[in-house]
Structure formats: structure tokens, C-alpha cells
Amino acid sequence: MKKTSYLLVILLSFVVFSVVVATTTTLYNVKGYSWSSNVGWVKADPTNGGVFMSNDGTLSGYAWANPYDSRDGSKNLGWLSFKASDISGCPSGPGTCPATVTSTTTNSTVTGWARFIAHDVLPNTYYTGWVHLSGTATNGSPYGVTYDASAKTLNGYAWGGNVVGWIHISFSIEGTCELATAPAAPTGLQASAASCNEVDLSWIAPPATNPPVSGYYIYRNGQLVFSSISPSAIDTTVIPGQNYSYRVSAYIGGACQFVEGGQSSLVNVNTPNSCNTGQPALSLKCFPTNVIKGASATLNWTASSGGSCTITGTDPKFSPVTFSVDDKGGSGSVPTGPITQTRDYNMTCTGAKGAESVSTKGTCYVSAEYQHF
């Protein structure tokens, strides 16, 4: 009798072990757009990063944001991330961070967090903002993104704080994905400073894969900054007199798959302290680029060399700001005050040696599609 019992236990253990081993995760493509009046359009596209939902309802990946409110994806302000490494340490504490569809078989709510990550014009700095996918507004009204099990869609409002604002998410869940084998890391990465505000990058593509490599991610100082479909790229978001480090990786994307390979070896490059003699190179950018109507923004400026500078604006309530920059150049910020419509701002500087003045323009966009409430 004991032998029979032992045999039964062994058989049951084998069955349980077999069931555990056989459990696999299926990924589904999440495609579509979301809109924030502060950030603009955010595009979920598996050919360039991509957002995915697993069969247990967990969301992963990231969607790119475009600062010019167009849907062509040509220029990126940053990205909305659902990656576990980005959302760990969320405000509500351990165990509550992953963005999760609570039920994939019935209509349900999406819980957890996403995180918006954007480049700053200052070197080595990035803005990150938490996005709560469901909760209660300050007026006591519930908000949140919901899952429609019949239509297989994610739709609703998420709250990204005072800077990101309300985000209207409208995604659809599409076919299943089987991840391809990750491509090898690119080799031979080279970086050279073409000017004080431009770094040229090139590298050797990894061996051919099936399906083929779709593009490359460029990491600067450990942060993903943009992508390229060819084994070369130009970074025009650098500023004079700084040291930057770069790595690149290859990724495979498609209608139903996405996988990123390992990163290349690191290379370093220094940008020149000055673009030319006497005349400073200027940069003036509004942050956030898209502003809630009636909210304020910040004008972040940089100048590569010394001189006297003035910032003016088309807003009649904006008072001109004048300041001096030393010979080594500098950077700073100026508040705009409340903005009710799209405004242009100009920064004009004259070199310390009396060189001809140079100017640059920055624009703060205001969209009324969604208002802060």
C-alpha cells in the first residue's frame, strides 16, 4: 500500500511539474494613438518600440510622443513607457506598479502606472512624469482607462500630473506575437562632433537576421534618446562644451513582433566650447512644448559663448528679459507666465567682442482639445 501511495505522489508531482513547464506567455500587439494637450500625440507602433499586452493582462513596452501634434512620427519629444524597469518605484508602492488589464475575458479596468520620459535641453537631464491609469480625481470623480473585451480596445483618460496633464488613450489589441531571436549588438560605433551642437554617429550593422533588423536605438549617457532606420545617426540635441557617451542597439519590429538586441561598446565625444569666434550658438526651447491653455511654461536657453542676450515674446504680457553670458557660455531658464494661445519667443545675443548679433526662436504651443480639470 505504501509503494502505491509513493508512486501516486511521484506521478502527481510529474503532472504538476509538466503543467508549470508548459505555461507560456503570449504577447498581443497594442496599436493606436493617445493625446495629451501638453505632450501631443503618442503613437503605439510595434515597428518602432511598441506596446504589448500579455495573456495575463500586463502591459509592457513604450509609445513615442511627437511634439508637433502630427502623426507621422518624424520627431520625438519623448516616450510613454510601460517597461517594468521604468515604472518600478511608482508612487503607490510595491506590487501596484505594473500597468495591468484586470481581466482579459470581460470588460475591466486598467490599473497601475505608466511613465512619461522626455529629453531636456540641458545636458544629461531627462524629465520623468508618473501617469496613473485609473484613480479618483480631486473633485471625487473616478477616471481611468478601460478594456473592452468584445472590441479588444483600451480607451479612457489617465492622469499625468500638472506637467503631462490628462492623457486620452485610444489603443486597439491586435494579433498575437512570437518574439524573434534578438539581433547581435552593432560593432564599430564611431562618434564625432561635427560642430558645437551636432554629433555624427555611425556603426556596423549586426549579421543578417530573419526577419531582418528594422532599426536601431541610440542611447546617450545611458538614456534612450532617438532611433534610426540606418546604421548612422545625427544628434542635434547636444550643447557646446559637454562630454557625451553613446551606445546603440538593433531591434526587430513588425506587424506582430518586436525584440531589441544587446548594446554596442561605449564611445565618448566632446563637443567644442564654441561654434564660431565672437558669435554664440543659441538654443531656445519651450518646456513642455505643448501647454495647457492658461498654464505656464519654461523657456530653456543655452549660449555657447559670451555676450549680452535678450529674450522677447509675442505675448504682450511677457516682459523682455536681458542677461549676460560669460566667455565659456551658459544655460538657464525663464518662466513664460500663463499662456492662452500659441506664442513665439526670440532670443538675441551680441558677442562680447561686438560681433554681429544672432537670434533663435522657440515656440510654446497651446491646444484646446483637452483642458485641465
CATH of the domain at 322: 2.60.40.10
pLDDT in tens, the chain (373 residues): 444 444 443 433 433 333 333 345 677 888 888 888 777 788 887 666 678 888 889 998 888 776 443 333 334 567 888 988 888 888 887 778 999 999 988 999 999 999 888 755 444 445 678 899 999 988 888 999 999 999 999 999 999 887 778 899 999 988 766 657 889 999 999 999 988 888 999 999 999 887 788 889 999 999 888 888 899 999 988 888 899 999 999 988 764 566 889 999 999 999 988 765 455 678 888 888 777 788 888 999 988 777 889 999 988 889 999 998 887 788 889 999 888 888 899 998 886 544 567 788 888 887 643 333 3
Instruction: Tell whether 295 and 350 lie within a shared domain.
Output: yes
Domain that holds residue 167: 33-174
Q: Is residue 58 part of a domain?
A: yes
Q: Is residue 170 part of a domain?
A: yes
Instruction: Tell whether 205 and 234 lie within a shared domain.
Output: yes
DSSP string, 81-136: E--HHHHTT-TT-TTS-S-EES-SSS-EEEESEEEEEEE-SSTT-EEEEEEESEEE
Terminal alpha carbon distance of the chain: 72
- Cβ atoms of residues 246 and 266 within 8 Å: yes
- How many CB atoms neighbour CB 123 within 10 A? 18
Instruction: Tell whether 227 and 291 lie within a shared domain.
Output: no
Cα torsion angle, 67, 70, 75, 79, sign? positive
Q: Is residue 18 part of a domain?
A: no
Instruction: Tell whether 87 and 138 lie within a shared domain.
Output: yes
Instruction: Tell whether 291 and 351 lie within a shared domain.
Output: yes
Q: Is residue 27 part of a domain?
A: no
Instruction: Tell whether 226 and 321 lie within a shared domain.
Output: no
Backbone angles phi, psi at 157, to 5 degrees: -110, 135
Domain boundary (244, 270, 296) is at 270
Q: Is residue 79 part of a domain?
A: yes
Task: State how many domains the chain has.
Answer: 3
Q: Is residue 102 part of a domain?
A: yes
The reported pTM is 0.49
Q: Is residue 335 part of a domain?
A: yes
- Cβ atoms of residues 247 and 266 within 8 Å: yes
Q: Is residue 20 part of a domain?
A: no
Instruction: Tell whether 265 and 294 lie within a shared domain.
Output: no
